[in-house]
Structure 1
């Protein structure tokens, strides 16, 4: 099964934006801060409370997700890089197939790899400039 979601980037406003979205749309809010991650202790003080991942799960199963950029990691928020289409699959083979096909002639931001939060995950812009996040949740 394939699921598509929208993933947004913010500059320190992800939590505020998602509290607003929840007030309008309802749903269940989840927030993980940068200081709750394995690399969080090494961040500048003004980035520690930023959102590593925030999601709003709506009653119909649609999930809106986001994070804050980290300027200390060289990220810059510009109109056009503040969104991603996120694909979740139920097979590692399928996620590799989709990643390799869609990223052909594009720009890979993060190759597919196992992440600390339990997903096999990668990020790229396709040949048309559309940004994608591809993931498969792996059971540990």
Structure 2
């Protein structure tokens, strides 16, 4: 079953913020730093220490975060987005197509080191990421 989670953007404060949330909520905290990821070669030197992806998990509570901003930088409204983790690539394609209708695709669906993903702003101005992990089937 697909799942929707909040995805927070901190533009350089991800580690600090997610550590704080772990202190408040408990759970297991994981970070993927750009320089330690297969995506390292796609980013400039000044971003190599930035958090590409972070997750805080405690049971059904899952909070996701990053230091990465979109092409417009940090603007009101894009610091929180919704992330849909799909059960299949077909489901991901369907959701992406439906959510982007009348909106704007910010990153088209493409292979990503951990799976396949894309981002968009829907016709109501809401930011979305749609993701499918080919290895785990989610």
Name stretches of at least 5 consecutive residues in structure 1 with no aligned partner: none
Q: How many residues align?
A: 135
Preserved CA contact (<8 Å) 2:3 2:85: yes
**TM-score after normalising by structure 2:** 0.89
Report the Cα distance in structure 2 between the residues aligned to 1:129 and 1:123, rounded to whole angstroms: 12
Preserved CA contact (<8 Å) 1:110 1:124: yes
Residue aligned with 1:4, SS: strand
Preserved CA contact (<8 Å) 1:69 1:75: no
Runs of 4+ in 1 over 4 A off after TM superposition: none
More deviation, 104-113/75-84: 75-84
1:125 aligned residue: 121
1:50 is displaced (CA, Å) by 1.1
Preserved CA contact (<8 Å) 2:116 2:132: yes
C-alpha distance 15-136 of structure 1, shift in aligned 2 (>3 A): same
What RMSD in Å do the two structures reach over aligned CA positions?
A: 1.8
